[in-house]
Amino acid sequence: MPADTNILDNPPVDGGELIRFDKVTKRFGDTTVLDGLDFRVDSGRHVTLIGPSGSGKTTILRLLMTLTRPDEGTITVAGDRLFPAPGKQVREVRKKIGMVFQQFNLFPNMSVLRNVTEAPVTVLGLSRDEAEERARGLLDLVGLADKCDQRPGRLSGGQQQRVAIARALAMRPRILLLDEVTSALDPELVAGVLDVLRDIARTTDITMLCVTHEMNFARDISDQVLMFDSGHVIESGPPEKIFGDPEHERTREFLGAVL
Ligand code: ADP
């Protein structure tokens, strides 16, 4: 990892509130996934969402990416409304947020470099030269400087996921959302991806919101762990508290099953 992580060029962290959900309700048909959720994340924090499958963790990330809309409530990012808000404002707020998915979702017909430059050119209006310089720095950061000209299909899953991380960072987001980013990987490829994310968490001020079943990773990178059950935060605290001395019976059961 190069010493110069200014490549991310995040705005200084003021520690203030960056993400705010107020009474957010989300239903799919008859199923209420989130039921009046209040949720806050301060800037620069690394927050991990844990809890049983189906408890609404991914839905929170998808709401922030505007991949789905709440039925009720408001979502605010850096003081600007993401929902409800006019389309132009939503697009501006969205630029502050990057996401890495379980399935890497790279463009298969573009080179690795092009995957990372595409959005900065088309969405942010960077020149191709500027975007390439930024992309090469980020691909170096994730250990893939020598893969710029390859197509994603020729890379391992772990390498593809590291390209996806570089692609998300190329937009210089204030917030990085990570949705079970190692779940689709062969076990021997998991560590390389988590090491890259650990370095990013350690050396940058980017705010991270992470859904993961990798509890050791969660313990390493998180300032705060939120335990979800049925769309509610039932317990939250620093990782040493949640993993070492959980208060809630459901948390103990869940950790007993996954650790
Ligand atoms: P988690 O990330 O905690 O596993 P999710 O947020 O993915 O939970 O899902 C919460 C619930 O919402 C689940 O019951 C899931 O089946 C349901 N759900 C999520 N997305 C959709 C969708 N697009 N259509 C219908 N149901 C959905």
In the chain, what are the domain boundaries?
17-257
Nearest atom of ligand 1 to the alpha carbon of 56: 6
Nearest atom of ligand 1 to the alpha carbon of 29: 25
pLDDT (0 to 100) of residue 6? 52
pLDDT (0 to 100) of residue 4? 40
pLDDT (0 to 100) of residue 259? 81
pLDDT (0 to 100) of residue 93? 94
Q: How far is the CA of 81 from the centre of ligand 1 (A)?
A: 24
- Is any ligand 1 atom within 6 A of the Cβ of residue 53? yes
The pick from 21, 26, 31, 33 for probing ligand 1's pocket by mutation, whose C-beta has the most ligand atoms within 8 angstroms, reads 33
Nearest atom of ligand 1 to the alpha carbon of 59: 6
Nearest atom of ligand 1 to the alpha carbon of 60: 6
Q: Which of 68, 69, 30, 37 is nearest to 229 (CA)?
A: 37
Q: What is the CA radius of gyration of the chain?
A: 18
Fold of 17-257: Rossmann fold (3.40.50)
- Is any ligand 1 atom within 6 A of the Cβ of residue 33? yes
Rounded Cα gap, residues 241 and 59, in angstroms: 25
Q: How far is the CA of 66 from the centre of ligand 1 (A)?
A: 15
SS3 sequence, the chain? CCCCHHHHCCCCCCCCEEEEEEEEEEEECCEEEEEEEEEEEECCCEEEEECCCCCCHHHHHHHHCCCCCCCEEEEEECCEEEECCCHHHHHHHHCCEEEECCCCCCCCCCCHHHHHHHHHHHCCCCCHHHHHHHHHHHHHHCCCHHHCCCCHHHCCHHHHHHHHHHHHHCCCCCEEEEECCCCCCCHHHHHHHHHHHHHHHHHCCCEEEEECCCHHHHHHHCCEEEEEECCEEEEEECHHHHHHCCCCHHHHHHHHHHC
ipTM for the predicted complex comes to 0.97
Q: Which of 255, 222, 244 is nearest to 47 (CA)?
A: 222
pLDDT (0 to 100) of residue 204? 87
pLDDT along the chain (259 residues), means of 10: 49 79 96 94 96 96 96 96 94 94 96 98 96 97 97 97 97 96 94 95 92 93 94 94 96 92
